[in-house]
């Protein structure tokens, strides 16, 4: 579990190699809710009724004093928010009047019709920071682990939300009062604990290397050891050709195996954002063939005008094009959750976010090639770089 209790965009979740769910815990302030639901009169009447019941009980006077103190703190925080640079109306922000400010900055109907911002994404600075913090936690978990998706729980007493995030975006639930509906939290954790590993988001094509495999990977791949003092976990990645490749003849230069288990360690780069291709390129060692290979892990967009990189490599290999990496094995990963699903919910009637056309379904792909470059700092003379550029231009 990952627990955080304040707005700090510079913090990183601890134990992110083992993290399962990111839980964002906020104080009792509406402005800390990163999203805003449409106001529901029934909920407000229910809250007023509950407050009346609390007044009849009597012993809750201390809680009332606490609530008054919280309101005073919230008013002080509003002044601080203004001093830190609140956005002006018309500049990517809603114009919030005093009545709306008390309601957490929810815009009225006319503002929703004319605004170019998504209704659901609250524009206030602190609420934007909360969204950024949630995205930061999700990105750290997805970058340091091999996951198809992850879950985040936002909690701001007494409200909570469930968020599912994949490489195409996030699905956010309506907020609910967890003090009154604690059964929703209990049901979520029960369902998560009984779900399959793939449903939790763990990629079945990757497993953590055991101590012997980890030592072998670090020894064979020491040449590409990263310079920064950062811990990296060794993995065994399973790359395999697509099922419909059985009738396709192998590349003439190197015969391809159907499946390869490759030990990888310390990627050359890690994804820097949640959405996108999330490209990871690893130096790898094949214990069976004793070869050093390059393994690429990417979430490619599914679009007619965007052909698969593996298919392009096959065509070039079959044409015996020089200076081109030889595709050894790999293609789109088959299985549940290996494609993003966020886009499929954009047209649902309950989706109140205005941005609906910017989502692009993505497919998880892994493949291995025989070419593994050397760091520029290892070149003994400039001629080596010039020759490499010349080979790339000649093709």
**Whether residues 387 and 298 fall in one domain:** yes
pLDDT exceeds 90 at position 296: yes
Report the number of distinct structural domains present in the chain.
Answer: 2
pLDDT grade, residue 176 (50/70/90)? very high
Confidence at residue 28, expressed as pLDDT on a 0 to 100 scale: 61
The last residue of one of the domains, among 200, 224, 247, is 200
**Whether residues 266 and 302 fall in one domain:** yes
Confidence at residue 278, expressed as pLDDT on a 0 to 100 scale: 93
pLDDT exceeds 60 at position 60: no
Query: From CA 198, how far away is CA 388, in angstroms rounded?
Result: 41
Instruction: Quote the DSSP letter at residue 384.
Output: H
Query: From CA 25, how far away is CA 256, in angstroms rounded?
Result: 50
Half-sphere exposure at residue 13, Cβ-oriented, CA atoms within 13 angstroms: 28
Mean pLDDT is lowest, of 40-49, 225-234, 342-351, for 40-49
**Is residue 368 within 8 Å of 256, Cβ to Cβ?**
no
* Domain ranges, residue 137: 2-200
Confidence at residue 37, expressed as pLDDT on a 0 to 100 scale: 76
**Whether residues 165 and 276 fall in one domain:** no
pLDDT exceeds 70 at position 94: no
**Whether residues 338 and 191 fall in one domain:** no
pLDDT 10s digits, 143-174: 888 999 999 999 988 889 999 999 999 999 99
In the chain, what percentage of residues exceed pLDDT 70?
A: 68
**Whether residues 248 and 376 fall in one domain:** yes
**Whether residues 156 and 9 fall in one domain:** yes
Confidence at residue 97, expressed as pLDDT on a 0 to 100 scale: 41
The last residue of one of the domains, among 200, 233, 253, is 200
**Whether residues 123 and 108 fall in one domain:** yes
Which is more confident, 220 or 40? Answer: 220
Mean pLDDT is lowest, of 2-16, 187-201, 296-310, for 2-16
Catalogue the long-range contacts made by 313-322 (C-beta closer than 8 Å, 24 or more residues apart): 313/367, 313/369, 314/248, 314/251, 317/251, 317/252, 317/253, 318/249, 318/251, 318/252, 320/252, 320/253, 321/395, 322/391, 322/394, 322/395
Instruction: Quote the DSSP letter at residue 28.
Output: S
CA quadruple 260, 265, 269, 274: dihedral sign: positive
**Whether residues 218 and 78 fall in one domain:** no
The label of the residue with tokens 């070039």 reads 316
Mean pLDDT for the stretch of residues 119-131: 76
Confidence at residue 110, expressed as pLDDT on a 0 to 100 scale: 46
pLDDT exceeds 80 at position 71: no
Which is more confident, 345 or 32? Answer: 345
**Whether residues 116 and 259 fall in one domain:** no
Confidence at residue 255, expressed as pLDDT on a 0 to 100 scale: 54
Torsions phi, psi of 293, nearest 5?
Answer: -130, 170
Confidence at residue 256, expressed as pLDDT on a 0 to 100 scale: 54
The last residue of one of the domains, among 177, 200, 223, is 200
DSSP-derived secondary structure for 257-273: PSEEEEEE-S-S----S
**Is residue 368 within 8 Å of 328, Cβ to Cβ?**
yes
Confidence at residue 10, expressed as pLDDT on a 0 to 100 scale: 36
**Whether residues 135 and 109 fall in one domain:** yes
**Is residue 172 within 8 Å of 120, Cβ to Cβ?**
yes
Confidence at residue 378, expressed as pLDDT on a 0 to 100 scale: 77
pLDDT 10s digits, 348-363: 888 877 666 678 899 9
Confidence at residue 215, expressed as pLDDT on a 0 to 100 scale: 92
pLDDT exceeds 90 at position 111: no
**Whether residues 193 and 213 fall in one domain:** no
The answer to pTM > 0.85 is: no
Confidence at residue 31, expressed as pLDDT on a 0 to 100 scale: 62
Torsions phi, psi of 384, nearest 5?
Answer: -60, -40
Beta-carbon contacts of 149 under 8 Å, excluding residues fewer than 6 positions away, are 164, 165, 166, 167, 201, 337, 340
Which tokens go with 106?
């929810």
The label of the residue with tokens 């601080």 reads 80
Q: What angle do helix axes 125-144 and 61-83 make, rounded to 10 degrees? A: 90
What SS3 class is residue 57? Answer: helix
What is the chain's mean pLDDT, rounded? 75
pLDDT grade, residue 55 (50/70/90)? very low
**Whether residues 92 and 216 fall in one domain:** no
């Amino acid at each position: 579990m990952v627990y955080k209790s304040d707005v700090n965009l510079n913090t990183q979740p601890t134990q992110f190699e083992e993290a399962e769910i990111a839980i964002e815990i906020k104080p009792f302030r509406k402005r800390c809710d990163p999203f805003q639901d449409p106001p529901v009169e029934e909920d407000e009447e229910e809250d007023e009724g509950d407050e009346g019941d609390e007044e009849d009980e009597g012993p809750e006077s201390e809680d009332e004093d606490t609530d008054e103190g919280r309101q005073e703190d919230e008013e002080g925080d509003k002044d601080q928010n203004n001093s830190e640079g609140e956005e002006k109306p018309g500049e990517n922000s809603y114009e919030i009047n005093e009545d709306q400010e008390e309601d957490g900055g929810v815009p009225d109907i006319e503002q929703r019709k004319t605004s170019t911002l998504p209704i659901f994404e609250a524009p206030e600075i602190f609420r934007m920071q909360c969204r950024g913090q949630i995205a930061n936690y999700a990105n750290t978990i997805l970058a340091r682990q091999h996951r198809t998706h992850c879950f985040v729980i936002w909690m701001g007493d007494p409200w909570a939300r469930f968020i599912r995030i994949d490489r195409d975006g996030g699905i956010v639930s309506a907020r609910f009062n967890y003090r009154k509906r604690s059964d929703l939290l209990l049901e979520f954790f029960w369902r998560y604990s009984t779900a399959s590993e793939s449903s939790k988001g763990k990629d079945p094509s990757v497993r953590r290397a055991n101590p012997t495999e980890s030592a072998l990977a670090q020894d064979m791949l020491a040449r590409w050891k990263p310079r920064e003092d950062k811990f990296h976990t060794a993995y065994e990645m399973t790359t395999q050709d697509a099922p419909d490749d059985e009738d396709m003849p192998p590349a003439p230069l190197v015969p391809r195996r159907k499946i390869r288990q490759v030990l990888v360690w310390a990627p050359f780069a890690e994804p820097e954002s949640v959405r996108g291709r999330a490209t990871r390129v690893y130096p790898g060692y094949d214990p069976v063939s004793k070869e050093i290979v390059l393994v690429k892990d990417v979430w490619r967009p599914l679009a007619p005008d965007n052909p698969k990189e593996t298919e392009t490599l096959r065509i070039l290999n079959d044409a015996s094009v020089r200076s081109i990496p030889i595709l050894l094995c790999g293609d789109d990963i088959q299985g549940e959750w290996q494609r993003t699903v966020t886009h499929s919910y954009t047209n649902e009637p309950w989706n109140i976010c205005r941005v609906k056309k910017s989502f692009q379904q993505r497919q998880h792909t892994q493949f291995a090639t025989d070419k593994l470059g050397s760091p520029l700092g290892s070149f003994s003379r400039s001629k080596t770089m010039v020759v490499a550029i010349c080979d790339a231009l000649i093709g």
